[in-house]
Copies of this chain bind each other. A is one copy, B any other.
Amino acid sequence: MIKSNSTNSNIQQIKVAVDCIIFGFNDNKLELLLIKKKENPEKGKWSLIGGFVGFDEDLDEAANRILSDLSGLQDIYMEQIKTFGKVDRCSFDRIISSTYSAMILKSRYTEDKISKYNAQWFPITEVPDLIFDHNDMVDIAIKRMRRRVRNFPIAFNLLPPKFTLPQLQVLYEGILDEELDKRNFRRKVAQMKYLVRLDEKDMSESRRGAFLYRFDETLFENEQNFNL
Contact = CB atoms under 8 A, between A and B. Distances in A.
Interface string A1-38: 10111000111111110000000000000000000000
Contacts of A151: 151
A228 B179 CA distance: 10
Given A86-B58, A96-B59, A12 B16 contact: no
Contact of A83 (B55, B80, B147, B228): B80
A98 B85 contact: yes
A176 B226 CA distance: 12
Most chain B CB within 10 A, of A11, A56, A58, A180, is at A58
Contacts of A185: 228
Given A13-B55, A96-B59, A228-B185, A83 B83 contact: yes
A217 B172 CA distance: 25
A188 interface: yes
A85 B227 contact: no
Contacts of A84: 59
B227 A150 contact: yes
A36 B58 CA distance: 27
A53 interface: yes
Given A4-B94, A185-B228, 12 more contacts: A5-B15, A5-B93, A13-B13, A13-B15, A13-B55, A58-B87, A59-B85, A59-B96, A150-B227, A184-B228, A188-B227, A189-B228
